[in-house]
Structure 1
Amino acid sequence: MSILTREEAGKLVEGLKESGKKVVFTNGCFDILHVGHLRYLNEARECGDILIVGVNSDDSVRRLKGPTRPINGEMDRAELLCGLKAVDYAVIFPEDTPVEIIETLKPSIHVKGGDYKKEDLPETVVVEKNGGEVRILTLVDGKSTSNVVKKIAENKN
């Protein structure tokens, strides 16, 4: 299984970077996987040699998205991500932002989707302080878990 603890991921990244690999990190809830996630993760993978995905814990998702989320549990979400060709490893984190996990991992590149601005991300300072780079990827318009959940609710009524 490619789901790592924070400590395992930190040691892994350190070793990979020492051997000259470019480690890419991204994060999110990834509650119901959809084509927007797939396109985003494929683009993220193209930025380097190894892609590690930080997955918000169930408690974190509830704080960010509300009491009815997540739909899928953290281990299921992480395992599904690891099953994608683009994803090498996943690590679950309990905080609401990836600042602390990024401080541990110190990735070469941190990527976020096109709906974010580099200067608005709390993690940008940490990434750049540790010699990394923040990249904003292409926005996959109209594809979101919230839209999927909304469509399911509409179809139910």
Structure 2
Amino acid sequence: MIIRLSELKSLRKKCESRKIVLTGGTFDLLHYGHIRHLEKLRNYGDVVVVSLMSDMRARLLKGPGRPVINQVERAKIMDSLKAVDYVVRMPRPHPNKPLPTFRIIRLLSPDVFVTADKRWEKNVGQFEKSGVKLVTVPREKVNSTTRIIKKIIRSHRSN
């Protein structure tokens, strides 16, 4: 189910006796590595919530032409997966507000945040302060959206 930021507090109340697992990312050009990551989230809790990076933030981090699929469509794709219970679209970053992920954490109060991005480890204090366990998992080495895009470009150029 796709939910709004304004619905996160009520989701926490609805699931108060269950363990909520939050993960986040772009999830552009969904591939097997994404699926494996999402399926493993059940090992950490009962309710899986995916926060999807905004198009603007994805462009800043990944470069021009990204994301390939816009956030609205990525949310609908995520929502169709049985490994995912809820999808929330991250707001655009704002210079005077906390990172979108921490805004979501403040509203949702998940039990666990699972990521393959080691950069989150520098924020371990913020997670602890929020009462959220940070779990960093190894990145799946089966594929990446960037590799897929490069392969398509190489294939197109050779034809």
Cα deviations by residue, 1:74-120 (Å, 9 ceiling, x for unpaired): 0110111111111001001123651222122111000001x526532
Q: Check if 1:156 corresponds to 2:156.
A: yes
Counterpart amino acid of residue 2 in structure 2? I
% same residue:
34
Give the superposition deviation at 1:15.
2.8
What is the aligned partner in structure 2 of residue 8 from structure 1? 7
Structure 1: gaps (5+ residues): none
Q: Check if 1:74 corresponds to 2:74.
A: no
Using the size of structure 1 for normalisation, the TM-score is 0.88
Please tell me the root mean square deviation across aligned C-alpha atoms, in Å: 1.7
What is the aligned partner in structure 1 of residue 138 from structure 2? 138
Query: How many pairs align?
Result: 151
Cα deviations by residue, 1:117-157 (Å, 9 ceiling, x for unpaired): 6532x3x3333212221111232115211111111111110
What is the aligned partner in structure 1 of residue 114 from structure 2? 111
Counterpart amino acid of residue 8 in structure 1? E
Using the size of structure 2 for normalisation, the TM-score is 0.87
Question: Within 1, Cα distance between the matches of 2:13 and 2:126?
Answer: 16
Retained in 1: the 8 A contact 2:32–2:142? no
Instruction: Select which of 39, 54, 62 maps to 2:36.
Output: 39
Counterpart amino acid of residue 138 in structure 1? P
Counterpart amino acid of residue 113 in structure 2? H
Question: Within 2, Cα distance between the matches of 1:74 and 1:119?
Answer: 26
Retained in 2: the 8 A contact 1:106–1:127? no
Structure 2: gaps (5+ residues): 94-98
Q: Check if 1:100 corresponds to 2:103.
A: yes
